[in-house]
Structure 1
Amino acid sequence: MMYEFLIDDSNQNSRLDVFLANEVELSRSEIQKLIDDKKVLVNEKFQKKNYKLNLNDKIKLEYEKPDKTIKPQKYDLDVVYEDDYLAIINKDKNVIVHPTETIYSDTLVNYLMYNFENLSDVDGDYRRGIVHRLDKDTTGLIIIAKDNDTHSKLKEIIKNHEITKTYLCIVHGKIDEFGTIEEYMTRNPKDRKKMMISDEGKLSISNYERLDYNDDYSLVKVQIKTGRTHQIRVHMNYIHHPILGDKLYGLKKEKILFDSQVLHAYNLQFVHPQTNENINVIGNLKQDFITAIKKTKLDYTKIPSKL
């Protein structure tokens, strides 16, 4: 679809990207990308995003409005536990948990809608069934609620720290045999995609145990007492043992190259909010993690089969 605008005296001297962001249902960053992609013309010429508009400028914007409806998509989910109230999925790498304002497909929610008849919707269609999150490239266990009552009770369990979450990761260097990291975390004001250690943030606690090591790498089990965004990734970097393959917090140059962090949500333990059953589930390692163990020459058998 082609949008056309004629600049009058009320909009002259405005920036090109600011003007368009106010005229169409797109964020400023989305508008800037369209400008960079040569989808915007001013008087039949390409201009930069900071171009100052003049009276009678003619703007053309080529843009197909996306369908923001969240639709079911076929996907073979690794379901490790399921009952009438909830399910636990062993999530793959490169899967975003829920849609955003710019991403409407190929998320876990799309796949859940295809695979499950009932999902909670207390947090809206974009987060159907989603009780907690995992980063896009973190693999492993994530709990799905099938109804709103179960969803609310699971949220309360997580809020009250009545769930045990255990992760596995491979980090650089020989880490201490045992340790606790207890620091305050907040979002990095210089880079909103990142978190950082700061006294102004919220308390974050991780307990770790080294399972195996060599001169270059350590295989680590981490139990988190809190669930801050990027918590384990930030904590490991903070103690100078960044996670292998971590593009945000890891080493800029690595001997062994991986395209994402080697981090896996391995075990969940909690009391079922509806049946009072003790739930203790392990999510088998994905192939990328197994490959990382082999390449770093760590011992796979040191990983506990039961927790």
Structure 2
Amino acid sequence: MKRIFRYNITEKDVGKTIETFLLEHEYTPTCIKSLKKAESLITVNGVWEFVNKKLKENDILETVFVDEESSENVPSVEMSLDIVYEDEDILVLNKPANLPIHPTKGYEYTNLANGVVDYYEKQGIPFVFRSVNRIDKNTTGLVIIAKNMLSGSILGESMRNREIHRTYLAVTEGELPEKGTVDLPIGRREGSAVERCIDENGAKAVTHFERLYYANGYSLAQIRLETGRTHQIRLHMRAIGHPLPADELYNPKFDVIERHALHSWKLEFPHPITKKILRFEQEMPEDMKNIFKK
């Protein structure tokens, strides 16, 4: 994957070094270091320059990010991708259930990264897989993939600054309160590499919920994350007495659905390069709808 960024230097940036200018445009030190590895990745008016060069008015500064090879240990595997949006910098996908985002034990050839790498290899483009928001194997819905190092680093910072707003739909057992907030810390369960638990010594975790619908002994909830801990929604809903059905770790009851009933429904965030606010929404899948169809 190759991405070129071009900047027309105006009066306000005259006298700044290339490095200062790039840092002001959200380039991380890691991004700048990668650009310094080879000639031609940073040029001014078509000429390669060191990052300590001072800029003049009307200069044309270009940076080039190139991934020469695809992600290591991510085999290319053909699969159907549900592409919601794509441009030069990001890819937004609707992920199905039973598909991890990254390779894990037992899923080395059946994960979202396999399919994305294959999608670009078929276009003759090496691709490094950079997932921005991560959802569990059996959680469905919207996932953001960064297509280059710069968009990945900026979106990573946006995630840390809570500028990527994530809204989920979850089915819970019983009649959930009309609305509320769960503020309970989460840590690893001792002796398990996978399970988490409510732990007073764990990381802060805050979940806001609102009941949208109640029928057949189940509630449909809109859930907004203030933090993004592993298994946060699943643990917080169980902690208040309303676990998700078919949660293989925390509530293994599979009578109404075959996987935990959680869907990444909405995403809203500033585009990493243009800063335009992007909004995406993905309809709840049929297996969750079917719980209420009686």
1:259 corresponds to which letter in structure 2? E
Residue-by-residue CA offset, 1:255-290 (whole Å, 9 max, x unaligned)? x34221010000000111101111110012223222
Say which of 72, 78, 94 aligns to 2:76. Answer: 72
Greater C-alpha Rg:
1
TM-score (norm 1): 0.68
2:88 corresponds to which letter in structure 1? D
Alpha-carbon offset, residue 215 of structure 1: 6.0
1:93 corresponds to which letter in structure 2? A
- Matched with 1:48 is none
Structure 2: gaps (5+ residues): 1-71
Whole-Å separation in 2 of the counterparts to 1:139 and 1:74: 19
Alpha-carbon offset, residue 119 of structure 1: 7.2
- Matched with 2:286 is 287
SS of match in other structure, 2:205: strand
Whether contact under 8 Å (2:169, 2:284) holds in the other structure is: no
Alpha-carbon offset, residue 253 of structure 1: 4.5
Residue-by-residue CA offset, 1:229-255 (whole Å, 9 max, x unaligned)? 0000000000010002111112x446x
1:94 aligns with 2:94: no
How has the CA–CA distance of structure 1 residues 85 and 177 changed in structure 2, closer, same or farther, with 3 Å as cutoff? same
1:167 aligns with 2:171: no
Whole-Å separation in 1 of the counterparts to 2:133 and 2:285: 20
Across the aligned residues of Structure 1 and Structure 2, the Cα RMSD in angstroms comes to 1.8
1:246 aligns with 2:247: yes
Residue-by-residue CA offset, 1:143-189 (whole Å, 9 max, x unaligned)? 00110110011100001111110000110001100000111110111
Whether contact under 8 Å (2:213, 2:221) holds in the other structure is: yes
1:114 aligns with 2:118: yes
TM-score (norm 2): 0.71
Aligned residues: 220
Superposition map of 1:167-206 within 5 A: 167-206=168-207
1:85 aligns with 2:85: no
Whether contact under 8 Å (2:165, 2:267) holds in the other structure is: yes
Superposition map of 1:13-52 within 5 A: none
Whether contact under 8 Å (1:130, 1:145) holds in the other structure is: yes
- Matched with 2:109 is 105
SS of match in other structure, 1:210: strand
How has the CA–CA distance of structure 1 residues 120 and 160 changed in structure 2, closer, same or farther, with 3 Å as cutoff? farther
Whole-Å separation in 2 of the counterparts to 1:70 and 1:217: 39
- Matched with 1:53 is none
Whether contact under 8 Å (1:211, 1:221) holds in the other structure is: yes
1:214 aligns with 2:215: yes
Structure 1: gaps (5+ residues): 1-67, 122-127, 298-307
How has the CA–CA distance of structure 1 residues 108 and 199 changed in structure 2, closer, same or farther, with 3 Å as cutoff? same
Whole-Å separation in 2 of the counterparts to 1:100 and 1:141: 20
- Matched with 1:226 is 227
SS of match in other structure, 1:76: coil
SS of match in other structure, 1:203: coil
Alpha-carbon offset, residue 102 of structure 1: 5.5
Whether contact under 8 Å (2:244, 2:260) holds in the other structure is: yes
How has the CA–CA distance of structure 1 residues 83 and 262 changed in structure 2, closer, same or farther, with 3 Å as cutoff? same
How has the CA–CA distance of structure 1 residues 101 and 220 changed in structure 2, closer, same or farther, with 3 Å as cutoff? closer
Alpha-carbon offset, residue 292 of structure 1: 2.7
Residue-by-residue CA offset, 1:26-85 (whole Å, 9 max, x unaligned)? xxxxxxxxxxxxxxxxxxxxxxxxxxxxxxxxxxxxxxxxxx943212111111111110
Identity %: 35
Whole-Å separation in 2 of the counterparts to 1:119 and 1:162: 29
Whether contact under 8 Å (1:93, 1:139) holds in the other structure is: yes
